[in-house]
């Protein structure tokens, strides 16, 4: 028998309590966790899947305890996710309702009593990957296959899923996979249930719209369109006046509001890193163009000083910064690469060679940010094949560095 449904806010409160009990008593616990950039797609996908798995009619309180959605960032960094606020408010949530890495101590849990389901990535990296990597039992992801999650047959034996395929948003794949269970949960259709559906639908819809530019970008798939239609149907059932473009504009405006952030916060707001042996690679994304960030820093030299400080703080070589912004209604992307020593120089040369075809790289501003030296090298390009994003950067970096 399925657990009785509760609003998303009550579910998150219960999940926090379950995590505390697991830490105190060493009881079994299942996490749903997004990737290290902890962007809107990762956070919302984790909460959506955890909620639907917990209250699925196929689940029971004895065999399937509460799934705990873990936002893969410290609580202090939630303030950098300005786009979360309008989304959470539609779901009657506050940032404090979310469960973050600050609420979680790996040492307090018995590794063998944990299960991990990944969303928006298919390889658990960093400290969590080192400790819990072998406890991953499922994933839903729209990135390239890393081959780190166990085969689909083994995931299904664990009662979980293994979905890795193309879509504009991971949330689209989450809803596609769980839609049958969601429909089963909705049977009865009382007003309280409809309100819960609307709240969860807003949470799942936001990343679908943001990641596909309101279903208008080239990377939009039929899965994204079908998911958006399904979720909007839930929202409109009992709520008048829903407007897709108004909701998209509200969230996108919040996401692009980074004027008040420091340079360091801009570089860490949407940041991923991966490593192997002595190599640590960092990739930051931002929603403004290179001209804006250089002006924000106070000029080219001040910008480079901020980059050097970030590279030193994180121990990076190389570091990449990718911009994505709208200009005259069209998507614009740029890519900046920075490396130190011979490794940095060689990396930039190889990246330009391999990335030229994938990204359609074109020298930015007549090479004003290009430099090759013994201590450091850098290059900046305009990306003419704008349909390709950071998802395509990471595999190229891994290939060059042999990660």
Residue 268 near residue 311 (C-beta atoms within 8 A): no
Of 217, 252, 287, which closes a domain? 252
**198 and 60 part of one domain:** yes
Report the pLDDT value the prediction gives residue 59, as an integer from 0 to 100.
61
Strands 371-372, 376-383: pairing is antiparallel
Predicted pLDDT at 327: 80
174 with 297, same domain? no
- CATH code at 293? 3.10.310.20
Question: What's the pLDDT tens digit per position in 253-302?
Answer: 999 999 999 999 999 999 988 877 788 899 999 999 999 999 999 999 99
189 and 322 housed in the same domain: no
Q: Which residue range is the domain that position 131 belongs to?
A: 8-252
Residue 3 included in any domain: no
Shared-domain flag, residues 293 and 173: no
Residues linked to residue 189 through DSSP beta bridges, in sequence order = none
Beta-strand ranges (E) seen in 328-367 are: 330-340, 361-363
Q: What is residue 250's predicted lDDT score, i.e. its pLDDT?
A: 98
**Which structure tokens are listed for 137?**
């039992």
- Do 195 and 231 fall into the same domain? yes
One domain, residues 248 and 126? yes
Q: How far apart are CA 130 and CA 133, in angstroms?
A: 6
- Considering the domain boundaries, does residue 348 fall inside one? yes
- Are 97 and 13 in contact by the 8 Å Cβ rule? The answer is yes
Task: Say whether both 46 and 147 belong to one domain.
Answer: yes
Instruction: Say yes or no: 243 and 268 in one domain.
Output: no
Same domain assignment for residues 68 and 215: yes
Nearest C-alpha neighbor of 390 from the set 290, 287, 307: 287
In order along its 403 residues, the chain shows pLDDT tens digits of 578 899 999 999 999 999 999 999 888 999 999 999 999 999 999 999 999 999 987 764 445 578 999 999 999 999 999 999 999 999 999 999 999 999 988 888 999 999 999 999 999 988 899 999 999 999 999 998 989 999 999 999 999 999 999 999 999 999 999 999 999 998 866 667 999 999 999 999 999 999 999 999 888 999 999 999 999 999 999 888 999 999 999 999 999 999 999 999 999 999 988 877 788 899 999 999 999 999 999 999 999 999 999 999 999 999 999 999 888 778 899 999 999 999 889 989 999 998 888 899 999 998 999 999 989 999 999 999 988 787 788 888 888 877 5
Domain boundary among 227, 252, 277: 252
Q: State residue 376 phi and psi, 5-degree precision.
A: -155, 155
| Residue 223: strand, helix, or coil | helix
Integer Cα distance of 141 and 172 in angstroms: 10
What confidence score (pLDDT) does residue 399 get?
83
pLDDT at 189: 62
Nearest to 127 by CA among 24, 33, 223: 33
Q: pLDDT digits over 80-90, tens only? A: 999 999 999 99
Say which CATH number the domain at 230 has. Answer: 3.90.1640.10
Residue 61 pLDDT: 41
Does the residue 1 lie in any domain?
no
Residues 124 and 17 in one domain: yes
- Whether residue 346 sits in one domain with residue 238: no
* Same structural domain, 272 and 219: no
Q: H helices of 56-119, where?
A: 84-90
- Phi/psi at 380 (5° precision): -135, 135
Q: How many domains does the chain have?
A: 2
CA torsion sign for 301, 306, 308, 309 is positive
Which is it for the CA torsion 189, 193, 199, 200, positive or negative?
negative
Q: Is residue 360 a contact partner of residue 398, using CB atoms and an 8 Å limit?
A: no
């Amino acid at each position: 028998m399925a657990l009785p449904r509760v609003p998303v806010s009550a579910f998150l409160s219960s999940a926090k309590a379950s995590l505390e009990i697991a830490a105190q008593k060493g009881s079994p616990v299942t996490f749903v966790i997004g990737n290290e950039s902890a962007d809107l797609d990762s956070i919302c996908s984790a909460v959506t899947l955890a909620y639907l798995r917990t209250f699925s009619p196929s689940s029971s309180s004895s065999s399937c305890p509460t799934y705990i959605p873990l936002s893969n960032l410290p609580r202090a960094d939630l303030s950098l996710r300005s786009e979360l606020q309008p989304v959470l408010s539609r779901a009657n949530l506050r940032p404090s309702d979310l469960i973050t890495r600050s609420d979680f101590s790996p040492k307090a849990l018995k590794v063998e009593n944990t299960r991990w389901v990944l969303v928006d990535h298919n390889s658990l990296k960093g400290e969590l990957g080192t400790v819990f990597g072998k406890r991953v039992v499922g994933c839903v992801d729209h990135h390239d296959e890393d081959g780190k999650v166990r085969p689909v047959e083994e995931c299904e034996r664990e009662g979980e899923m293994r979905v890795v395929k193309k879509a504009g948003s991971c949330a689209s794949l989450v809803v596609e996979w769980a839609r049958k269970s969601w429909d089963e949960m909705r049977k009865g259709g009382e007003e309280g249930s409809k309100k819960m559906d609307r709240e969860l639908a807003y949470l799942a819809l936001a990343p679908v719209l943001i990641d596909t530019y309101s279903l208008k970008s080239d990377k939009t798939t039929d899965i994204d369109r079908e998911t958006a239609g399904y979720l909007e149907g839930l929202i409109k059932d009992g709520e008048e006046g829903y407007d897709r473009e108004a909701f998209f504009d509200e969230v996108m405006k919040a996401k692009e509001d980074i004027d008040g952030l420091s340079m360091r916060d801009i570089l860490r707001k949407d940041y991923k890193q991966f490593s192997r042996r002595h190599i640590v690679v960092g990739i930051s994304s931002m929603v403004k163009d290179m001209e804006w960030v250089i002006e924000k820093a106070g000029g080219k030299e001040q910008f480079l000083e901020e980059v050097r400080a970030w590279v030193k703080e994180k121990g990076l070589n190389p570091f990449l910064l990718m911009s994505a912004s709208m200009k005259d209604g069209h998507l614009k992307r740029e890519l900046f690469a920075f490396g130190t020593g011979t490794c940095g120089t060689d990396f930039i040369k190889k990246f330009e060679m391999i990335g030229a075809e994938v990204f359609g790289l074109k020298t930015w501003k007549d090479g004003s940010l290009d430099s090759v030296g013994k201590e450091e090298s850098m290059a900046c390009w305009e990306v003419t094949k704008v349909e390709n994003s950071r998802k395509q950067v990471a595999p190229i970096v891994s290939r060059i560095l042999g990660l």
